[in-house]
Amino acid sequence: MHQKSLENYLNSQKELINKHLELYLSELVSSCELEGLKGKGIQEPAKILFDSMKYSVIGGGKRLRPILALAGTEFVNGDIKNTIPTACAIELIHTQSLIHDDLPCIDNDDFRRGQPSNHKVFGEPMALLAGDALLAYAFHLITTKTPKEVSPRIILKVMEEISGSNGFIGICIGQAADIQYTAHQNLNEDILQYIHINKTGALIKSAIKTGVLLGNGTKKQLSVLTAYASYIGLAFQIIDDILDVTGQKSKIGKSIGKDKHLCKATYPAIYGIEESKRKAETYIDMAINLLKNFGKEADILRALAKYIINRQL
């Protein structure tokens, strides 16, 4: 796939996701207003909660996870219409994890996606609640917005995947391990992988898997793409670690050099930049290699794998 057509593809998928995220968030606001203080001349007391949720969701982001969910459905020749609510839900979950990560008690990060982080704008209590509400709304979207054509059993499978230790709880597990192993003496690659597989890999894997499930993919397709997602998830986090050392804040949209400052467990901290890059490339090669028995239907997945390794490097 040409660079230009990948860019077009990414932009059009991103636009599709953004349009639906805006729609879903505005629906949440209007549904709550009806049950609020309407007609009593009092401004909705919880408006600030919705503003805080919107601020972080609409504020930017590559929308990589939802794009991977849609790509999973496309790969198995399913209808992406059925995947859009879940793809958006996954982006809400990702956003909640960023908002909570940035809080002073965890990473204490002032910038995210090129703008002040949520708690810098809305204060810590509202950032905390916005994250909580986004997580719940993600599950609400999946249950209420998935088109009727999708069987309720599939929807329950999607919920199971995203809510468990393969999905969101995986993020919490990775984050807890990350905190445990910050500035730790006995760091090794096993632990580093454990952190990355959970903290970043879990939701990337869930995105692709739910895309396949919603597209009615076969067990074989599901297992190939699950392995593919594991590799690109690892590569993605290694690149993220590298960019924290070598990147520019203006391009990445968040603070640079934070990992080293916080003594975080990262690939560059153990292996240095060059060896880390090599490892990321190996994972991407392994991901692409898994697709060797597939034809044109895997072009997007191959291009996405290359995109992950090349972004901003």
Q: Which residues bind its own copies (CB under 8 A)?
A: 28, 31-32, 35-37, 40, 42, 45-46, 48-49, 96, 100, 103, 105-106, 123-126, 128-133, 135-137, 139-140, 143-144, 151-153, 155-156, 159-160, 163-165, 167-169, 172-177, 179-181, 190-191, 194-195, 198
DSSP 82-131: GTHHHHHHHHHHHHHHHHHHHSTTTT--SEETTEE-HHHHH-HHHHHHHH
- In whole angstroms, how close is the CB of 194 to its own copies at the nearest point? 6
* Closest to its own copies by CB, 161 or 241: 161
The nearest distance, CB 270 to its own copies, in angstroms, is: 15
- Judged by beta carbon, residue 23 or residue 37, the one nearer its own copies is 37
Structure tokens of 202?
């879990």
Half-sphere exposure of 93 (CA within 13 A, CB side): 33
What are the two backbone dihedrals, phi and then psi, of residue 131, each rounded to the nearest 5 degrees? -60, -45
CA distance 103 to 29: 25
Nearest to 292 by CA among 303, 302, 283, 300: 302
Q: What values do phi and psi take at 115, rounded to 5?
A: -140, 165
Q: How far is the CB of 210 from its own copies (least distance, A)?
A: 13
Tokens of 29: 């606001």
Token readout for 114 is 């090129």
Name the residue nearer to its own copies (CB basis): 19 or 47. Answer: 47
Which CB sits closer to its own copies, 39 or 295?
A: 39
Cβ-based nearer residue to its own copies, 182 or 246: 182
Q: How far is the CB of 280 from its own copies (least distance, A)?
A: 22
| Three-class DSSP category at 148 | coil
Please report how close the Cβ of residue 251 comes to its own copies at its closest, in angstroms.
Answer: 28
Q: Which is nearer to its own copies, 1 or 103 (CB)?
A: 103
| Least distance between its own copies and beta carbon 135 (Å) | 6
Residue with tokens 């609409």: 58
Q: Least distance to its own copies from the beta carbon of 128, Å?
A: 6
Nearer to its own copies, 111 or 139 (CB): 139
Contact 178/241 with Cβ under 8 angstroms? Answer: no
- Using the structure block, give the residue that is written with the tokens 């949209």: 253
